[in-house]
């Protein structure tokens, strides 16, 4: 196993085939690819290097790396992954062709007390001597500092939020999981998890743009981090929210810690590219592992506490506590959601028809489709028993699609009738629902002129521009549009004109018992006069007695709806209507 110095030093090598004059300079090749070869005589501790050794390792002369002892002074102190430990502690046996090894370690070219370092990849083989002990090692060393830095960057990016540099949600979850595992061990202190939300970030987006909001998010992250202890953890939970894991934190200490965090954000304006911005945060917290023993439960409980904090006011903190009422509501929501899904799948969603009549003749002009559900026991369930839950649970889009399907089927079966259907706020921005409507109208274009789509006032005013586009899409299909529950929100008549709806339905709360409510009388009369000036047809809901109907008729309302003229029925009457919806708009 004698060491061939000419081979390692790379003097020259003659090509075996081809041009006999060609020679390969191994030393220059090793230098160019950032590698150096060595032969280490373990018994004498001498190391022979290829000519590229000192240059590749950036040391001051070959003397600094001439022996294993000299090299040891350039490594991290007490490094268990040293080449010596790897070879001498190996349980592998050399059967004549050596034992392979591969190492990854740090070299300090100017000494371990300096900051400059190189990451090295060292791979080769060691061989035993006549005494059966390791005697030689031969290998190649490659400098991989750039690769190591790239890997570190990739690893950092995979675990951290790109904008703030803090942990991302997945890594935050891992930290919570580890904290929960530690906290459940005997005599381990409790910890806490907080979700901190920047208040009104959407307003900042609208006022200054998303880039300035990003500046705010980054500064809030820094301020929150500055108030944490060394073992505390902060990460980006979502857009405007941060998750903070407080180690060794009793339940009673959460509020004090949260107030410290809120104060750090609130007390000084945040400087942005458009000037200083005043920012506050709200906080929800949960004590671990008392109220949560899983990561998902911890995040859910903290989020529930945060939502409660937001209902109080900005810059507030709420600690999670178990609530029998909340758990009961949650269980009830689950039951209702299951029942709605089952009813949809089993065809138990139905519509009831309530007439809306012409004021003067009281002849039905069109019928409003009101959603109903058949229970498994055969009872008919009104909308009030399940629609609010469906809205909370995000199921209204499914219900609205089913109502649209049923209404279209009715229009096909009853060509003499006009119908109105209600859609929820979620459906008003749902492209899928609009695509379904468009598909129905393309197959049966004559149906459009017999269909009115009712949208609530509160839905319309949320985004007037978007609502205006939605109304235009419905008009382009040939449908009429009604603004439902006018007066329940804050729509101005200016916005009403901008929306270009065809009918306005007055909220029934202003109509019920109208003859005995002077204040409501003034509002209703003013509403009818203004609507007439804007060329809008009007509908009064909840008309239940002839006295109220007479007042509305005298003031010029166009249509009446209420129990006085008919309750919702599952079947349409055998009365053929002759009026088309085009006549309804003209009647104003």
The residue among 81 and 362 whose pLDDT is bigger is 362
Cα–chain center distance at 457 = 28
Q: Give which of 243, 221, 58, 43 is closest to 132, Cα–Cα.
A: 43
Residue of 40, 37, 31 lying closest to 82 (CA atoms): 40
Instruction: Tell me how far apart the alpha carbons of residues 220 and 271 are, in angstroms, rounded to a whole number.
Output: 11
- CB 468 within 8 Å of CB 499: yes
What pLDDT score was predicted for residue 578? 43
pLDDT reported for residue 371: 95
Q: What mean pLDDT value characterizes the chain?
A: 86
Helices (H), 324-395: 324-345, 387-392
Q: How far apart are CA 453 and CA 471, in angstroms?
A: 9
pLDDT (tens digit, 9 = 90+) per residue, 419-460?
A: 999 998 888 888 999 999 999 999 999 999 999 999 886 666
pLDDT band for 21, please (50, 70, 90 cuts): low
Give the pLDDT of residue 462. Answer: 60
pLDDT (average), residues 256-260: 94
pLDDT higher than 50, residue 577: no
Could you give the angle at which helices 396-413 and 324-345 cross, rounded to 10 degrees? 30
Q: Are 175 and 233 in contact (CB under 8 A)?
A: yes
Question: What is the pTM (predicted TM-score) of this model?
Answer: 0.56
Whole-angstrom Cα distance, residue 491 to residue 481?
Answer: 16
**pLDDT score, position 108:** 92
Nearest to 557 by CA among 578, 533, 588, 582: 588
Q: Residue 582: which pLDDT band, with cuts at 50, 70 and 90? A: very low
CA nearest to 532, candidates 387, 324, 357, 359: 359
Instruction: Give 516-544 as a DSSP string.
Output: G-HHHHHHHHHHHHHHHHTT-EEEE----
Residue with tokens 């039905």: 364
What is the gyration radius of the CA atoms in the chain, in angstroms?
39
Q: Which tokens hold the place of 19?
A: 């041009």
Convert the pLDDT of each residue in 368-426 to its tens digit. 999 999 998 889 999 988 888 888 888 999 999 999 999 999 999 998 899 999 998 88
pLDDT at 81: 74
Q: What is the pLDDT of residue 574?
A: 61
* pLDDT attached to residue 362: 94
Residue 233 pLDDT level (bands cut at 50, 70, 90): very high
Query: Which uninterrupted H or E stretch holds 82?
Result: none
Q: How confident is the model at residue 495 (pLDDT cuts 50, 70, 90)?
A: low
Q: List pLDDT tens digits, range 95-113.
A: 889 999 999 889 999 988 8
Mean pLDDT of 318-338: 80
Domains annotated on the chain, with CATH? 5-149 (3.30.450.20), 161-322 (3.30.70.270), 348-383+394-586 (3.20.20.450)
Contacts of 148 (CB under 8 A, 6+ apart): 119
Task: Quote the tokens at residue 69.
Answer: 């002892």
Pick left, alpha or beta for residue 397 (phi over 0 → left; psi -120 to 50 → alpha; otherwise beta).
Answer: alpha
Sign of the torsion formed by the C-alpha atoms of 389, 395, 396 and 400: negative
The encoded tokens of residue 166 equal: 């803090």
DSSP alpha helices (H): ranges in 35-100?
Answer: 53-57, 68-72, 83-88
One-letter-per-residue 3-state SS of 169-233: HHHHHHHHHHHHHHHCCCCCCCEEEEEEEECCHHHHHHHHCHHHHHHHHHHHHHHHHHCCCCCCE
DSSP-assigned letters across all residues of 268-330:
SPEEETTEEE---EEEEEEEETTS-SSHHHHHHHHHHHHHHHHHH-SS-EEE----HHHHHHH
Q: At what angle do helices 210-226 and 201-208 cross, to 10 degrees?
A: 140
* pLDDT at residue 76 greater than cutoff 70: yes
């Amino acid at each position: 196993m004698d060491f061939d110095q000419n081979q390692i030093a790379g003097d020259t090598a003659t090509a075996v085939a081809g041009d006999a004059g060609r020679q390969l300079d191994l030393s220059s090749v090793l230098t160019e690819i950032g590698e150096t070869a060595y032969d280490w005589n373990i018994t004498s501790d001498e190391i022979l290097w290829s000519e590229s050794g000192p240059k590749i390792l950036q040391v001051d002369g070959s003397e600094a790396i001439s022996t294993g002892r000299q090299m040891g002074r350039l490594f991290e102190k007490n490094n268990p992954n040293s080449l010596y430990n790897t070879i001498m502690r190996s349980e592998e046996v050399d059967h004549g062709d050596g034992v392979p090894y591969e190492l990854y370690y740090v070299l300090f070219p100017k000494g371990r007390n300096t900051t400059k370092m190189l990451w090295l990849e060292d791979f080769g083989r060691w061989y035993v001597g006549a005494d059966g002990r390791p005697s030689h090692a031969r290998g190649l060393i490659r400098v991989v500092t750039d690769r190591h830095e790239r890997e570190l960057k990739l690893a950092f990016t995979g675990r951290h939020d790109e904008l703030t540099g803090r942990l991302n949600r997945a890594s935050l979850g891992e930290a919570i999981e580890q904290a929960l595992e530690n906290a459940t061990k005997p005599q381990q202190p409790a910890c806490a998890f907080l979700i901190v939300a920047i208040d009104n970030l959407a307003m900042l987006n609208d006022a200054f743009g998303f880039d300035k909001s990003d500046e705010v998010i980054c500064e809030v992250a820094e301020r929150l981090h500055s108030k944490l202890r060394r073992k505390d953890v902060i990460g980006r939970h979502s857009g405007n929210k941060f998750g903070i894991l407080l180690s060794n934190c009793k339940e009673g200490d959460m509020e004090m810690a949260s107030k410290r965090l809120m104060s750090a954000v609130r007390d000084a304006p945040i400087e942005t590219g458009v000037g200083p911005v005043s920012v506050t945060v709200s906080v929800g917290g949960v004590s671990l592992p008392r109220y949560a023993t899983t990561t998902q439960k911890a995040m859910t409980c903290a989020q529930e506490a945060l939502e409660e904090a937001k209902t109080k006011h900005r810059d507030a903190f709420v600690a999670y506590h178990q609530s029998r009422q909340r758990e009961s509501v949650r269980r009830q929501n689950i039951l209702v959601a299951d029942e709605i899904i089952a009813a949809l799948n089993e065809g138990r969603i139905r519509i009831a028809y309530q007439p809306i009549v012409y004021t003067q003749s009281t002849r039905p002009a069109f019928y409003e489709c009101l959603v109903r559900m058949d229970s498994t026991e055969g009872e008919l369930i009104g909308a009030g028993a399940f629609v609010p839950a469906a809205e909370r649970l995000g199921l209204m889009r499914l219900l609205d699609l089913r109502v649209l399907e049923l209404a279209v089927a009715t229009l096909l079966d009853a060509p003499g009738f006009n119908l109105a259907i209600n859609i929820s706020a979620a459906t008003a921005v749902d492209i899928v629902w609009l695509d379904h409507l468009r598909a129905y109208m393309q197959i049966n274009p004559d149906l459009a002129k017999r269909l009115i789509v009712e949208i609530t006032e509160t839905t319309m005013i949320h985004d007037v521009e978007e609502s205006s586009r939605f109304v235009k899409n419905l008009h382009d299909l040939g449908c009429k549009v009604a603004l439902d529950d006018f007066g329940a929100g804050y729509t101005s008549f200016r916005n009403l004109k901008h929306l270009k709806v065809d009918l306005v339905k007055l909220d029934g709360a202003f109509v019920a018992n109208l003859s005995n409510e002077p204040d409501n009388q003034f509002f209703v009369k003013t509403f009818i006069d203004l609507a007439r000036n804007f060329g809008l047809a009007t509908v009064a809901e909840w008309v239940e007695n002839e006295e109220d109907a007479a007042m509305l008729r005298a003031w010029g309302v166009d249509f009446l709806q209420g129990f006085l003229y008919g309750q919702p029925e599952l079947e349409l009457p055998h009365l053929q209507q002759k009026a088309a919806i085009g006549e309804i708009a003209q009647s104003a």
